[in-house]
Amino acid sequence: MKILVTGFDPFGGESINPAFEVIKKLREKIGDAEVIKLQIPTVFHKSIKTITDKIDEVKPDVVLMIGQAGGRFDITVERVGINVDDARIADNEGNQPVDEPIDPEGLPAHFATIPVKAIVQEIRESGIPASVSNTAGTFVCNHVLYGILNYIYKNKLDIRAGFIHIPFLPEQVVTKPNTPSMALDTMVNAIEKAVEVIARTEDDIKRAEGTIC
């Protein structure tokens, strides 16, 4: 099976993006999965287009998108993408949409189709903290999560897709007091575990991982 793994280029004043640093270090072959790596621009719509072009080209079975979630403590697997852009900062080409739908004719949201809870469980079992997240924000991360799920849905493609957020790297928080971080190797291990689970599991496990609010 083929899995397309994407990561953003740096944004928001950071000189690196842990998402692409992780992707560069992923093994090309994980279990039965052939890993195809893709850097995508931190730009509204262009990011989606970069991925859908690659989908059309390589016909992957799975699209796994990776992004930086500065301030989060652990690996978070996103449950849902919502149909709205609300950018607190401009993207890398100066776009700052506020309360605009990603697809004016799309559904209000799409749920991820990778086995979210099985991934969380597997990462935890390897000694790395992980959890389910119920919001991917309203910037480019949510944008591509919704955008790709929407593209797959509208085109009735047989592709599973989802998004995993990773924390800052230690070097990114040297000047940010009381901000959590995670080592690159730890994050690479976590994403490789995720790819393994996705490759061998179609159905998710049922296990309470909800949030009160």
Which of 27, 56, 59, 98 touches a second copy (CB under 8 A)? 98
Q: How far is the CB of 169 from a second copy (least distance, A)?
A: 8
Q: Among this protein's residues, is 213 annotated catalytic?
A: no
Which of 1, 14, 61, 70 touches a second copy (CB under 8 A)? 70
Burial class (CB in 10 A: 0-12, 13-18, 19+), 130: buried
Q: Among this protein's residues, is 78 annotated catalytic?
A: yes
Residue with tokens 């090309």: 28
- Find the Cα–Cα–Cα–Cα dihedral 25, 29, 35, 38, rounded to 10°: 30
Which residues contact residue 125 at a Cβ distance below 8 angstroms, ignoring those fewer than 6 apart? none
Q: Does 136 bind a second copy (CB under 8 A)?
A: yes
H or E, element range at 161: strand 160-166
Q: How far is the CA of 144 from the CAs of 22, 67, 121, in angstroms?
A: 18, 10, 24
Give me the catalytic one of 78, 110, 122, 143: 78
Structure letter (DSSP) for residue 10? P
Q: Does 41 bind a second copy (CB under 8 A)?
A: no
Q: Does 47 bind a second copy (CB under 8 A)?
A: no
Q: Does 173 bind a second copy (CB under 8 A)?
A: yes
Q: How many residues bind a second copy (CB under 8 A)?
A: 66
Which of these segments, 22-30, 52-60, 67-75, 195-203, binds a second copy (CB under 8 A)? 67-75
Give me the catalytic one of 110, 122, 165, 192: 165
Q: Does 107 bind a second copy (CB under 8 A)?
A: yes
Three-state SS for 127?
coil
As a whole number of angstroms, the longest Cα–Cα distance in the chain is 46
Q: Among this protein's residues, is 165 annotated catalytic?
A: yes
Which of 7, 18, 60, 137 touches a second copy (CB under 8 A)? 137
Residue with tokens 């949510």: 142
- CB-nearer residue toward a second copy: 196 or 204: 204
Q: How far apart (Å, rounded) are the C-alpha atoms in residues 4 and 209? A: 26
- CB-nearer residue toward a second copy: 35 or 64: 64
Q: How far apart (Å, rounded) are the C-alpha atoms in residues 161 and 102? A: 17
Q: Which residues are catalytic?
A: 78, 141, 165
- For binding to a second copy (CB under 8 A), which residues are involved? 12, 67-70, 72-74, 79-80, 82-89, 96, 98-99, 107-111, 117, 124, 127-132, 134-139, 141-142, 165, 170-171, 173-174, 176-183, 185-186, 204, 206-213
